[in-house]
Amino acid sequence: MVTYQKTLRNNISCTGVGVHSGELINMTIKPAPANTGIVFKRTDVAEEVSVIPARYNMVSDLIMCTTIQNDAGVKVATIEHLMAAFSGTGVDNAIVELNGSEVPVMDGSSAPFVFLIECADIVDLAAPRRFIKVLKEVSVTEGDARAVLSPGDNVSVAFEIDFDNQRIGKQNCSFNLRNGTFKNELSRARTFGFLSELEQLKEMGLAKGGSLENAIVLSGQDILNEEGLRYNDEFVRHKALDAIGDLYLAGSPIIGQFHGYRSGHALNNKLLHAFLADDSAWCYTTEAPVRASTIGGAHWPMQQAAAPATA
């Protein structure tokens, strides 16, 4: 079954803080023609250097977030939650205008962006949607972390984490991204970090805008957010959300199975590079994946290992 590319019907705007920069950012998402893809545009720099396509080969920095950069050195950071919202709502084409260097963090999840996209309304364009179909398994590793793309009939994501903090511990999740699964099961999962790491991050120029309003914060095994967790396994669901955003930098939805074990932004991007560099591992198709609901899946054996202290 052939489906059609989608964009927004109307412009939609918001204002929020950059979690790492601490800057107050105005953002407007605008409709775009077919085959544009997702494009970021900085309105605070010269027009001729303002555009940055959201592609895996434009990624410049992967410390604590995903940052893209054009040839002129103009950057936009922390794009992963918005990219996950585009992926989860099926938006193929959009222009994202920002008057600063970072996407607003909002509440630390993708839910506010899903809300904005739905308020703007999603419309079909007169061009078939193009998918990337996985033809053979490709995997990358780094220490104990692993990320894999393997053939499958749907767009699916599975993730495992293993933290030595007992409040998080071992968690896993597996979802088929069809029929509203992203919005209902993943979009509200927030980023997280440890209070003990905050000062170190700020010395690195990161987390300047972080707060209990836009992240789950743990002090030892205690969750400091008054409202607690949105899901019992919110930590692993957010890692899956991040992976969905990172994988959408392929430029099209990937029909196949992603498995991440303690993977982060850097390994997710490394996987895309390895996968798309192997012409025998994938092909383009306009045939949409079969319909399915949330699934369970096989998981790798969990190993006792310390994970990074922040999401």
**How many angstroms separate the CA atoms of 281 and 271, rounded?**
12
DSSP code, position 190 = P
Q: Which of 81, 238, 259, 265 is catalytic?
A: 265
User: Count of residues for the chain?
Assistant: 311
Query: In the annotation, is 265 catalytic?
Result: yes
Name the nearest CA neighbour of 163 among 264, 63, 20: 264
Cβ atoms 55, 249 nearer than 8 A: yes
* CA-CA-CA-CA torsion sign (6, 254, 140, 163): positive
What is the three-class DSSP state of 59? Answer: strand
Half-sphere exposure at residue 241, Cβ-oriented, CA atoms within 13 angstroms:
33
Name the nearest CA neighbour of 120 among 28, 2, 257: 28
**How many angstroms separate the CA atoms of 288 and 2, rounded?**
6
**How many angstroms separate the CA atoms of 93 and 251, rounded?**
10
Q: Which residues are catalytic?
A: 265
